[in-house]
Each structure stands twice: as structure tokens, then as C-alpha cells.
Amino acid sequence: MFKRIVVTGMGALTPIGNTMPEFWDALLKGTSGAGPITRFNTEHYKTKFACEVKNFDPVNFIDKKEVRRLDRFSQLALVASDEAIKDSGIDAPGVNRDRIGVIWASGIGGLDVFIEEITNLALNKVPRFNPFFIPKMIVDIAAGHISMRWGLRGPNYATVAACASSNIAFIDAFNLIRLGKCNAVVAGGSEAPISEGGVGGFNAMKALSERNDSPQTASRPFDKERDGFVMGEGAGAIVLEELEHALARGAKIYCELAGGGMSADAYHLTAPHPEGLGASLSMNAALEDANMTPEMIDYINVHGTSTPVGDTAELNAIKKVFGEQAFKLNISATKSMTGHLLGAAGAIEAIASIMAVRENIVPPTINHFTDDPEIDSRFKLTFHKPEKRTVNTALSNGFGFGGHNATVIFKKYVK
């Protein structure tokens, strides 16, 4: 019999809130995190807005000397994981830190430092690199910093699968714990892609919204006039823990992680399969892993990026998996508020799903103005305002470039 895994701590640093409670409160208020980009001069860029983390100074959380050795994605990771670890109480004396792991996700990693160092090389023509260039840039370094900060000596690594990265981190953590390899894992993701290279690169792919006249309404999943995603930055962390270990130390329990599934589209470099073939395989695998039927799901936090093709493909997959149940459960796309945090998206969306289960309330999809005739009107897409309902189970999807799909399911904890 597999061990049961529960969530005992959460932390968030997002475009709409710098702590988990602030983030959840902003979701329920329908707050948009979008605004003009402040991190670089956008004069020559097609997209001039994004969902930036606001009022964040890393030196308020991290020693100034250490800050200089960290790319922004690692700074965000440390702050969110600190909140989750403190929230869980797993840093208490007597807890065996040899059996606590860290699995941290990022789709891109240290993009800021990469751009800075390569720009310096191009301008100076002399190979003078910062000795922290590589340690700041590599994707696995955030997991390393979290483990060193807290003395966590269990399994430690990164997951990289574009926008499915964080969900895969949760699935890996889930499997390590239930197989008895760890007692707990700090899992999550962070991303800091709002830079010349990040925005310019996604602009070149025509993936980003260019609604510069109305940034706060630009992320509009399921709307007929959606024109691309809004880039976001931030981090989310959860502490996953073996149930008996959590009970033995008197930990509070938010919910249970019931299962997860992964798949590949095997279809296209960036576009999802139009019928959602890979997405449906991922959701079916998660249901099987959780020993659940489609009728047992109450809420889906969709990948829902606000791209013309992606939104309809995901809804096609949901209809394929859930049949008539697809029109009874609630669906919402919280990227309408946070923007798309790429490799960290699944982390903050897992927190939204966990809180929906805990509080019995579904956060909304904002910015819906015009119905899309290609979308079945029977879907309950939770437009404009949150909806109170019993949420015993919540499913969260993450799909990434390369055809990577990962789905996790959270459920109410019952003794």
C-alpha cells in the first residue's frame, strides 16, 4: 500500500500578491497583475506590458551579499520556499533533514544573468565573465540554494519541461515520498522571464498579447478576441509530506495530493494537439493514479493561457475525458489575473487549487467580454466572480512547449 501524501505548507510570490494569503485574496477579488514593463526599456518591443512582481526588494529577505550571487529566479524561489517551510513548521528541532528533499522547477532559469554576461562579451570583445555566471544561471541552482538555506539533505534537483515543469516537480515529490525515499519534499517553481530576451523571443513567436492599450484586460482566456498570453514572473512552493510523519509532529494539513499524470503530445514544437490528445492522456493518467472517476472532480484550474489555439484544445480534451461531467464541474483560468509564469505557473495554480479545496470557493476567470462560438456554452467557466461550491477535489493542468503535459489532483483530507 502506498503512503498518503498531504500538503502542510505553502508560499507564494506573485504579480498579484507577495505572500500566499495575499495571492489568494487577490484571486478572489479578480485582481489583474498586468501593467507596463518596468524592468527594461520596451520602446522597440511589440509587447510593452507584463505581470511583474511588485514592491519586492530581495534584500528584505536575503543577505545583500548573497543577493548579488543569485539570479532573480533564485531570489524568488528562496522567498516563496521560506514562506512554505515556515508555514509547514517542518523546520522544527528534531525533524530529520536527511529525509527532506527539494525539487524545484523552472522553464528557463537564469535568463537575466545569461543576457547580461553575453551582452558584456559582445560589447567588450574580451572574455571576462563573472565567476558566478554559471552558478547563477543553471536551472538546478534554486533547488541547491533552498537546500543549503535550510539544511535539507534529501533528494535535490530541478525539473525542466517548459510550462509543465512545476506539476512534474509535484509528481516527482509525490512518488519519492510514497515510495518511502523521503518524509517530505519542498516542491515548487520560479521564473523571471521579463527581460529583453524573454519578451523579444516570445514576441518573435507571436505568442504574446500585444494589447498595449489595455494591459489589465489583455489576458482573456476563452474570449473570442484573445490574442496571446501575458508574461508573468514569480514563484510558488508547497511542502508535501507523508501523512503519518505530518500527524506525528502535529502539522496542520491543507489537503491531500491524490495523484498525478504525465504525457506527450508528440505533435508539434509549440502548438498543442487541436483535439487535446496529449492533454486528455495526462488527465486520464492522473485520474487513474488517484483511483478516481471523472465524476469525482469538482473543479479544474486549466492551463488556460489566453492563446487562440491552446484554450480550445484544452476544453476539447476536458470534454473527451469528462463527458457530461465536463459541464457540471467548475473551470477557471487564473492566468487571466496572474499572467503566465511559464515554469512556475503550475506552482501558483496548485496553490489556487488547494485553497479552492480548503475554502470551498472557485476563483474566477476575469476579462471575458465576447463569447467564442468555438467554445461549448455548456462549460461553467466561472467568469467575472468567484463561485462558492463544495470542492472535494481539484485538478490542475500544466502544458508546455515540446508537447509536455502534466496534471495533478488535490482532494480534501479525510482521516
374 in a domain, yes or no? yes
Tally of domains in the chain: 2
Query: Do 116 and 264 sit in the same domain of this protein?
Result: no
Given the residues 145, 245, 340, 404, select the one marked as catalytic. 340
Which CATH number is 140's domain given?
Answer: 3.40.47.10
Given the residues 163, 182, 245, 255, select the one marked as catalytic. 163
Query: Do 280 and 343 sit in the same domain of this protein?
Result: yes
Average the pLDDT over 37-66 and give the result.
97
Query: Do 299 and 322 sit in the same domain of this protein?
Result: yes
Is 273 assigned a catalytic role?
no
Query: Do 162 and 310 sit in the same domain of this protein?
Result: no
Is 245 assigned a catalytic role?
no
Average the pLDDT over 139-160 and give the result.
98
User: Which pLDDT score, from 0 to 100, does residue 124 have?
Assistant: 84
Query: Do 225 and 277 sit in the same domain of this protein?
Result: no
Is 340 assigned a catalytic role?
yes
Q: How far apart are CA 312 and CA 27, in angstroms?
A: 23
Query: Do 272 and 242 sit in the same domain of this protein?
Result: no
- Cell digits of residue 331: 473551470
* DSSP per-residue letters across 14-62: BTTBSSHHHHHHHHHHT----EE--SS--TT-S--EEB---S--GGGTS
pLDDT in tens, 73-127: 999 999 999 999 999 999 999 999 999 999 999 999 999 999 999 998 888 877 8
pLDDT in tens, 355-364: 999 999 999 9
Query: Do 279 and 346 sit in the same domain of this protein?
Result: yes
Query: Do 243 and 302 sit in the same domain of this protein?
Result: no
Kindly report the average pLDDT of the chain as a whole number.
97
Q: Which single residue is written with the C-alpha cell 505548507?
A: 9
pLDDT in tens, 171-213: 999 999 999 999 999 999 999 999 999 999 999 999 999 999 9
Q: Range of 396's domain?
A: 259-411
CB 338 within 8 A of CB 235: no
Query: Do 288 and 329 sit in the same domain of this protein?
Result: yes
CB 294 within 8 A of CB 322: yes
Which residues neighbour 195 within 8 Å (Cβ) at sequence distance 6 or greater? 39, 40, 111, 112, 115
What pTM, to 2 d.p., does this model score? 0.97
Query: Do 13 and 130 sit in the same domain of this protein?
Result: yes
- Cell digits of residue 38: 518596468
Query: Do 235 and 280 sit in the same domain of this protein?
Result: no
Nearest-5° Cα angle at 252, 251 to 257: 100
268 in a domain, yes or no? yes
Given the residues 145, 273, 303, 404, select the one marked as catalytic. 303
Query: Do 210 and 108 sit in the same domain of this protein?
Result: yes
Reduced DSSP (H G I as helix, E B as strand, rest coil) percent helix, strand, coil of the chain, to 5: 40, 20, 40
Backbone angles phi, psi at 356, to 5 degrees: -65, -40
Of the residues 248, 283, 300, the one at which a domain ends: 248
